[in-house]
Amino acid sequence: MSLFPHVFTNRTMEQKNQSEVSEFILLGLSSKPEQERLLFFLFMLMYLTTVLGNLLIILAIRIDSRLHTPMYFFLSNLSLGDICFTTTTIPKMLVSYISGNKEILYISCLAQLFFFNWFAGLDSILLASMAYDRYIAICAPLHYTMIMTPRVCVLLVAVSWFWPCVNALTHTVLITQLSFCGHNEIPHFFCDLGVVIRIACSDTSINDLLIYTMGGLTAIIPFMGILISYFHIFVAVLKIPSAYGKWKAFSTCGSHLTVVCLFYGTIIGVYFSPTSTHTAQQDIASAVMYTAVTPMLNPFIYSLRNNDIKGALRMLLLRKPGFSSDFSHYTFTAIRKRFQ
């Protein structure tokens, strides 16, 4: 007989509760078959558009030596991140619509949660890096080549990939410490961090705290940096005497600001506002915006408002069949030559 029966019982029940949840059920966007068919074709089209559009942006930047600059180096990484970001969630949802199986294994849910937070954080810091690049280009053009050196650009991109990975790994490890007491229905179309935490039956105070601390470092601080950068950019642009110069500066930054508003507006609304101010349906609608709509719109926003990208895409799409290009030259050697 145990000297501490209540402790033994609690531990046994906790282990039993944790072992009960070997998989989750993603309830998705709808439970009606006719709506699911429509959603399948809609999200399939959005996913293919996202992958194709961002791949074209990456290839266009690679083949056009005029685009081997810091701004387009950040943009190519953003496009790669968007492909990975949307691939984390949309294909699983499409498969569930085809098979009718909405279950996802516990380990697969953790993997989805990890990669989703990783690539979301990647987009956040890359957008801040692009804002910093525009700030230097407009507010300190004479010092641009001395500040935005290849080493600085590589460092910014490295931080963009590394820090969100640490953040995502921390959240994922802490999720493994939670008990779910048999509650395995997730009212979402993917394993979202906030939703998974809400269905847990154990103490989630540490998880909630880290969302606001580490999540703040990954989302709020870059967002504040973007706002500060564009405040200085706006002040500098107003001092430009010619109307054409003002229009060109605003046009260059307009596409980036559009992406920032779409991305951060929905992310902050879901993760950094009181849960009492929004419903589950609003969270799902916001999630569709930043997981599917924004990555799909990015190539259009950047290409339609950017003559350099349009020229590079035209070169890419109108190449002669026998023409081949060496993609291996897209390194910072090319960027360094433009600075010399």
As a whole number of angstroms, the distance between CA 244 and CA 257 comes to: 20
- What pLDDT, in 10s, does the model give residues 138-177? 888 899 999 999 999 999 999 999 999 999 999 999 999 9
Tokens in use for 55? 């791949």
Domain residue limits, the chain: 19-309
Task: Give the torsion sign (CA, 45, 47, 50, 51).
Answer: negative
Tokens in use for 137? 């280009």
Shortest CA distance to 47 belongs to which of 96, 74, 83, 9? 83
Share of the chain above pLDDT 70, in %: 81
CA angle 180, 185, 187 (to 5 degrees): 120
- Which pairing describes strands 23-26 and 185-186: parallel, antiparallel, or unpaired? parallel
Under 8 Å between Cβ of 95 and 173: no
Rounded (10°) CA dihedral 208, 214, 216, 218: -130
| pTM score | 0.81
Query: Which residue would you say has higher pLDDT here, 49 or 246?
Result: 49
- What pLDDT, in 10s, does the model give residues 21-43? 788 999 888 777 778 888 899 99
Work out the average pLDDT over 83-110. 91
- What pLDDT, in 10s, does the model give residues 235-285? 888 887 777 767 776 766 776 777 788 788 777 766 666 655 556 677 787
Q: How confident is the model at residue 332, as a pLDDT?
A: 43
**Looking at the domain 19-309, which fold is it?**
Rhopdopsin 7-helix transmembrane proteins (1.20.1070)
pLDDT over 70 (residue 1): no
Query: Which residue would you say has higher pLDDT here, 4 or 37?
Result: 37
Band of pLDDT at residue 85, cut at 50, 70 and 90: very high
